[in-house]
Structure formats: structure tokens, C-alpha cells
Amino acid sequence: MRSAAASIQSAPLRRAMLVAPRHLEIHDFIPPRPGPGEILLQVRCALSCGTDLKTWRRGHPLWKMPVPLGHEFSGVVAEVGPATSGFRPGDEVMAAPTAPCGGCFYCERGQENLCATAIEKMVLGAYGDMLLLPAHIVAKNVFRKPRDLPFEEAALLEPLSCVAHAQSMARPERHETALIVGAGPFGLLHMMVMRAAGVREIVIAGRGDDRLKWAAQLGADRVIDARREDAAAAASRLNGGFGPDLVIECTGQVSGWTDALARTRRGGRVVFFGGCPPGTVLSVDTRRMHYDGLTLLAPFHYRPRDVRRAFELLAERKLGAGRIINQRRSLNDLAQVFAMLDNGAVLKCAVIP
């Protein structure tokens, strides 16, 4: 089982490192041999991500630079470690970059998304030729990729897991009107999942001509240009003049949270999906929240059951989720990829080693 890995390791391998904000370097890389329960993965596709962009811009509080980047990926098993069951060299796989410990306070209560070690042990380095997947991830959140599922679409497993977790809390119904605040990749994934579930009306409010155009092309029933329209008035006319039943905030800005809270109808639900910067505060009209019977939800990360659901959605091939990947570049062009992300010229970019 080591012949494939031996031939790979004899060739020069690369991995992208963020050495300072806005400063990426491609370094030579010698991957470790997989230990018990581990997998050495040959990366076939890594996807750009908003977290990667924020880290590139200003660093990350949990990751000390220099740090490898990239955590949305798919690939081919190059080598398996001792006592690794269920996978063998040559298998095409897709994976989430985290997995819970299974035994902490939160895991025992079914809140594995809050497991502290899941984020602490997150796999980074998908912008590279090879990636080591530790045993706790192999055991819970690695799946064989269906043959007819492209590597690019398979790499959406991690962001789609976050969406699956949020929608398991929001519980959109077929008869409802949903408003998504933010026309980025996560907003579009939410739209695609609700569209596949048969939600009656899905509206996206956002900024940027290209993003709104993409939202319309990918299936939004209506787009609201927050720069040129009275977004509040447009939202209030939805659902026969009652306003949306469900509002999902995907901007990660306090202004977006405030807008989402203001747009939902009486008795409606608000999902604060986008994470805001540390230290920010949301002001809530307590009278409206109480007397209008609002439900406020704040999903974070995902649980193994959400990863399983995301895998099922991708394997069913009903979402067309790969359509949000609208650029492709090589690993050597990674600096250009982040420049495009920085100016909003791309939704998601597939980085092909």
C-alpha cells in the first residue's frame, strides 16, 4: 500500500503558507507518513473560502503565522496508516476538516458543533499537493466520493455542512417565503438547499451587480439590490404584505444582523448565520421580539450528522451546487485568487494543484 505514496513523496511537493497578512508563499513540503487511523490525501481540488480571505487579510486569532491555508478539499487516498479501516490507496474521497472528540460535555449532549477540540484540531493546508487527515476525522467525517460527483463539487462538503446545520435549526417549510441577506457563496448555498426542498419563494437581498446577477441566474425568485432599492419596503411586500417567514443573515456584519431582525414578519424566524467580528453588539427591540413572537437562531459550525446530510445532498446531485464555483486556477496562481476574492470578482475559486 506504500508504493503510490513512495512515488509521490519522491517528487517535489508544495504547500501554500501565509507568512504575514496578505503575504502568501509556496513552500516545499514533505508530508508526514500517516499514523494509525490516518490518511495521506493527494489533493485534487481546494476551494476558496471567506474564512481564508479574512485570515489572509488580517490573520486569525487561533492560527499563528506562518500557517498553511485551505480547508475545503477533495482528493485521492495516497497512503493509509496502520489500522486504518474503510479506505485504501486510490479511493476518491471528500471530507470535512474537523471532527468532534465525542466525549466532552457538549458532545455528550449532541452539540458536537461546540466541541472545543474540533476547531483546535482543524486540518489546514488544502492549498497544496498533499494533506494528512488525522484519525479522529477519518473515523467520523471522511466519505468515499461518488464516481459521478466532480472533485470540485465534492470539495463543497464543509461549507454545505454548515448550511445543513443551520437549516436543521431553521426548519424551512415548503409553503414559506424566505429572505436571504447576502448574495455570497453561503447565501447561494442556502438558496440551493431550500430550492431543492421545495420552499415556495426564495428572495436574496445583497450588494454588487455581479453577485446579484449570479443569484438570479442560480435560482432566486427575486433579488433585491440594497444599494438601489428601498430594501425594507421591498421585504415588507413579500408574502402577501406580511413579510418573510424566515430570514437568513449571511453577511457577517452587524448591519446585516440588524437588517435581518427588522425584515422578518410577526411570528417569524431569524437565522444569524454570518459570524460578526469580535466585540460587536446587536441591539434588539425587546418589545417587538416579545410581542411579535420572534425566534432568533444562531447556528455555528456543524455536527457529524450535518456532514452526513451534506454528503447526501451532494451525492443526490439535485442541488447543482458546483455552479457557485466560477473560477479555476492553479496552486501557483494562489496570490491572484486572493486578489480576486478581495475585490469581489469571484464567488468561489477551485484551486487545482
304 domain-assigned:
no
| pLDDT average, residue stretch 60-65 | 88
Residue 2 confidence class, pLDDT cut points 50, 70, 90: very low
Do both 7 and 151 map to the same domain?
A: yes
Angstrom distance (rounded) from CA 305 to CA 312? 11
Do both 38 and 65 map to the same domain?
A: yes
Residue 257 confidence class, pLDDT cut points 50, 70, 90: very high
268-287 pLDDT per residue, tens: 999 999 999 889 999 999 99
| pLDDT of amino acid 344 | 87
Do both 151 and 175 map to the same domain?
A: no
Q: What share of the chain is helix, strand, coil (3-state, %, to 5)?
A: 35, 25, 40
| pLDDT of amino acid 5 | 52
164-173 pLDDT per residue, tens: 999 999 999 9
10 domain-assigned:
yes
Angstrom distance (rounded) from CA 343 to CA 210? 12
**Number of structural domains found in the chain:** 2
178 domain-assigned:
yes
CATH code, domain carrying 260 = 3.40.50.720
Q: Above 70 in pLDDT, residue 67?
A: yes
- Nearest to residue 26, comparing CAs of 35, 17, 34? 17
| pLDDT of amino acid 11 | 64
Which residue's entry shows cell 413579510? 243
Q: Above 80 in pLDDT, residue 43?
A: yes
Beta bridge partners of 224: 205
167 is written with which cell numbers? 437549516
Do both 175 and 148 map to the same domain?
A: no
| pLDDT of amino acid 26 | 96
DSSP category for residue 350: E
Angstrom distance (rounded) from CA 329 to CA 348? 11
| pLDDT of amino acid 24 | 96
| pLDDT of amino acid 202 | 98
348 vs 12, higher pLDDT: 348
| pLDDT of amino acid 1 | 41
CA atoms within 13 A on the CB side of 326: 18
DSSP category for residue 48: -
Q: Are 45 and 350 in contact (CB under 8 A)?
A: yes
159: cis peptide before it, omega within 30°?
no
| pLDDT average, residue stretch 213-241 | 95
DSSP H or E stretch at residue 311: helix 304-316
Do both 9 and 126 map to the same domain?
A: yes
Which residue's entry shows cell 480576486? 340
Angstrom distance (rounded) from CA 1 to CA 88? 8
Do both 53 and 127 map to the same domain?
A: yes
Angstrom distance (rounded) from CA 143 to CA 137? 10
Q: Above 60 in pLDDT, residue 4?
A: no
**Sign of CA pseudo-dihedral 29, 33, 34, 36:** negative
* Cβ contacts of 91 within 8 Å, gap of 6 or more: 76, 77, 144
Do both 48 and 126 map to the same domain?
A: yes
104 domain-assigned:
yes
Do both 275 and 199 map to the same domain?
A: yes
b/e code 93-128 from CB counts within 10 Å (16+ = b): bbbbbbbbeeebebbeeeebbbbebbeebbbbbbbb
| pLDDT average, residue stretch 178-197 | 97
For 10-19, 23-32, 287-296, 321-330, which range has the lowest pLDDT when averaged over its residues?
Answer: 10-19
Do both 37 and 97 map to the same domain?
A: yes
78 domain-assigned:
yes
Q: Above 60 in pLDDT, residue 10?
A: no
312 domain-assigned:
no
| pLDDT average, residue stretch 134-154 | 97
Q: How many residues does the chain have?
A: 353
Domain that holds residue 222: 166-297
293 domain-assigned:
yes
Do both 189 and 288 map to the same domain?
A: yes
309 domain-assigned:
no
Give DSSP secondary structure letters for 219-260.
T-SEEEETTTS-HHHHHHTHHHHT--SEEEE-S-SHHHHHHH
Do both 24 and 149 map to the same domain?
A: yes
CATH code, domain carrying 143 = 3.90.180.10
247 is written with which cell numbers? 430570514
Q: Are 161 and 143 in contact (CB under 8 A)?
A: no
Do both 94 and 194 map to the same domain?
A: no
